[in-house]
Amino acid sequence: MKQRIDLRWMLAVGFVIGWLFAAYAVFYLVQKPFDQNFATATGNAVLDALFSPVILLLGAALGRRLIRLLGASLASPGEELILTTSLGLGLLSFLVLILGLVGLLYKWVFYGLSAVLFLALFSDATAVCRTAWTCRPAIRPPRPLFIYLAITLGLAFLVALTPPVDWDGLFYHLTGPRLYVEQHRIAPGIDIPHLNFPSLMEMLYLYGMLLKGDVTAKLMHFWYALLLTGLVYLLARRHLFPRAAWPSVAIFASMPMIPVLAGWAYNDIALAFYQLAALYTLCNWFTDRRRQWLILSAAMCGLAMGLKYTSFVCPLTLVVLIVWRQAIRERARAGVIFRSLLLFSVVALLVASPWYIKNFFFTGNPFYPFAYEVFGGRFWDEFRAAWYARAGTGIGLNPLKLLALPWTLTLGIRDMNYYDGRMGPLFLALLPSLLVYWLYRPRREGPPRSAAVSYLLVFALAQYLAWTWGVIASRSLFQSRLLLPCFVALAPALAVALDSLRALDRSAFSLHRFVWMTIAIVLALNVVYQGLDFLRIDPLPYLAGRESRDEFLTRNLGQHYAAMQDINENLPAGAKILFLWEPRSYYCQRQAQPDAILETWKHLVYKYDSVDAIARHLADEGYTHVLLHQKGLEFVLEAGMDPITEEDVRLWENLASDYLTVVHREDEGYVLYALGGGSGP
């Protein structure tokens, strides 16, 4: 029997709802809760926050499809989500490289590519979303750790939503992609040596730029921070024991450099991720002899080799672990070991090879700018090779300095860029607990767990020794940020060692709890420091529309951005500027040659010897202006790291007085000169 419609009820409900919306509309039309600037800024931030996960989802779907085509199966939803996403992002970088090399760097191409990939991988994309949803119950850190991670990663995310101001991002990580977008192709002929480093991350930044912009691009590094956090948890849970999983994350997240780098367009977190992923999947192969794990380990190793030359430590260490495991522990035949090494090496080299092949055809040197003595290289010579190496400027083989290196490293008193490489005190403070672990580890823990701890320690030690070798030779390599893969591998091992302190607990005093109290204090101080740093950067006015992009960049970059604005606004489109003692050129919209390794003037003096010859060379090369970073020159002179002499400064002053005319001076920080003028010809 049909229920009779109550017309009077419908009219009453309709009247109340209509009145509500009319009242709200009239009120907010007159008293607007926000203005147009707020709506534009927040809308832009939301789009940035949505476009970068699109790349992430496409990468995850692509990686899942590849895993299925290989017939591989992963053990858990978390493992599947993390490994397939990272593998797919590597595949996307190769795809961007190919499109760039053939000259298809157009927005419409990448919008079309994204749409085609989404339609072709729709089932995989939906499966990835379901997998991510099923991982929710497992993500239950202790409440204090949850609060800490939410604060640190949340603040890092807000910083990541602002325009790029980080040094290396403005130097080459984003500058290369910007130049490629401008010419719609990846082509040789750019004299910035770092653009010929392995460029996996730069290709993902390029993808983000073409979809939306530079903020979307640099958010990709933030997602790698989340992937790395999850991988640390997975490694400890699978190969150590569940109780060590969240302590491993806590020790890893105690490094102040993690939220700093997560908000920047760098590649260090991605590099640490792929190296740890290579070790993780190799440990999987040691316990589960399916060939898929050895292939995945080699692929992750190859992807790491696509990020930085320093990643060579990873394949060498893993080869040693393979030989040690099979030859010594398992007594395998030589043929079995050879086949394992051959498969691992072939896959790793194939995955890494696109970057080195591209370098060979662009510069004539697959390892450009290194190995100049063997391969040579475009734009390079013996002077630049020696200058870049800075051989003999390191700490040398001083026994006391080598013994004190862990303390020096932690304190940052010799670090070239300590702000972005702060490791915190926990790694140094918890090192003695490793001795306690080896003395008191319970027999019931079994070989797999102790073997995994050994693998982590061997991997961390190999990274540390390679880094130490570098700082012995060159001061420029004294950067604790380069040790991030070591710290990441060390974190789970220290978590196990920390748990072993329970063996020293007594009814009157628990050493384990006391140490955790100190760790809680360290994490609390990290939050204070990061909060103050957040207030210094102050991204909220920009994100809320109270500050324009130009105002934010002027406030955070100061004279540098003001100098770039002056160039963009006042120099003709055909201008060509030579930068001196300034490697950052991202915001310069005119053709510029940055001083990539701070040797430009010294190299000119070396090649041409006289001011007259230098002036003729600059004119022949089409330079119309010279930008001097005065404070950069003063820093180099005060630091004494680069051999700039008084004679070099005198020659520069002669060039400036005889052949250059001051066009603009930025508070003594930057001076823009026009080529021509003075008493010269």
- SS3 assignment for 18-79: HHHHHHHHHHHHHCCCCCHHHHHHHHHHHHHHHHHHHHHHHHHHHHHHHHHHCCCCCCCHHH
Regarding whether 543 and 566 lie in a shared domain, the answer is: no
The answer on 349 and 204 residing in a single domain is: no
pLDDT digits (tens, 9 = 90+) for 434-461: 888 887 765 555 555 678 999 999 999 9
pLDDT score for 435? 85
Q: Which of 342, 361, 380 is the last residue of a domain?
A: 361
Task: Supply the pLDDT for residue 206.
Answer: 98
Q: Which two tokens stand for residue 95?
A: 């795809």
Could you give the CA distance from residue 228 to residue 224 in angstroms, rounded to a whole number? 6
End residue of a domain, out of 318, 342, 361: 361
pLDDT of the residue at 3: 53
The reply to whether 411 falls in a domain is: yes
pLDDT band, residue 24 (cuts 50/70/90): confident
* Separation of alpha carbons 97 and 207, rounded Å: 10
Are 524 and 614 found together in one domain? no
Determine the structural domain holding residue 641 and report its residue range.
Answer: 558-675
Q: Are residues 437 and 522 in the same domain?
A: no
CB of 93 within 8 A of CB of 176? no
Task: Quote the number of domains for the chain.
Answer: 5
Give pTM, 2 decimals: 0.93
Q: How far is CA 206 from CA 59, 502, 594, in A?
A: 15, 49, 20
CA-closest candidate to residue 138, choices 40, 225, 249, 57: 249
Together in a domain, 540 and 639: no
pLDDT, mean of residues 207-219: 96
- My answer on whether 333 and 347 are in the same domain is yes
- Please tell me whether residues 128 and 229 are part of one structural domain: yes
| Residues 292-311 pLDDT 10s | 999 999 999 999 999 999 99
Residue 512 inside a domain? The answer is: no
**Lowest-confidence segment of 9-18, 177-186, 453-462, 490-499 by average pLDDT:** 9-18
Enclosing H/E stretch for 155? helix 143-160
* Higher per-residue pLDDT: 6 or 200: 200
Contacts of 566 (CB under 8 A, 6+ apart): 664, 666, 672
> Are 220 and 339 in the same domain?
no
Summarize pLDDT for 613-638 with one digit per residue, the tens.
999 999 999 999 999 999 888 888 87
pLDDT of residue 449: 66
Q: Are residues 11 and 31 in the same domain?
A: yes
**Has residue 187 been placed in a domain?**
yes
**CA-based angle 249:73:341, to the nearest 5?**
80
- Residues 548, 36: Cα–Cα separation, whole Å: 13
Sheet holding 670-675, edge to edge: 591-593, 576-580, 625-629, 670-675, 660-666
Residue 369 lies in a domain: no
Amino acid 402 reads L
Condensed to tens digits (0 to 9), the pLDDT of residues 566-621 reads 999 999 999 999 999 999 999 999 999 999 999 999 999 999 988 999 999 999 99
* Beta-strand relationship, 576-580 and 591-593: parallel
What pLDDT does residue 176 have? 96
Instruction: Name the maximum alpha-carbon separation found in the chain.
Output: 105
Same-domain check for residues 488 and 574: no
Same domain, 237 and 252: yes
> Is 376 part of any domain?
no
CA 577/CA 552 separation, integer angstroms: 25
Better-scored residue on pLDDT, 656 or 637: 656
In a domain, 498, yes or no: yes
Asked if the structure places residue 138 within a domain, the reply is yes
Q: Quick one: average pLDDT of 331-345?
A: 92
262 and 142 in a common domain: yes
- Between the alpha carbon of residue 205 and those of residues 130, 257, 481, the distances in Å are 27, 21, 20
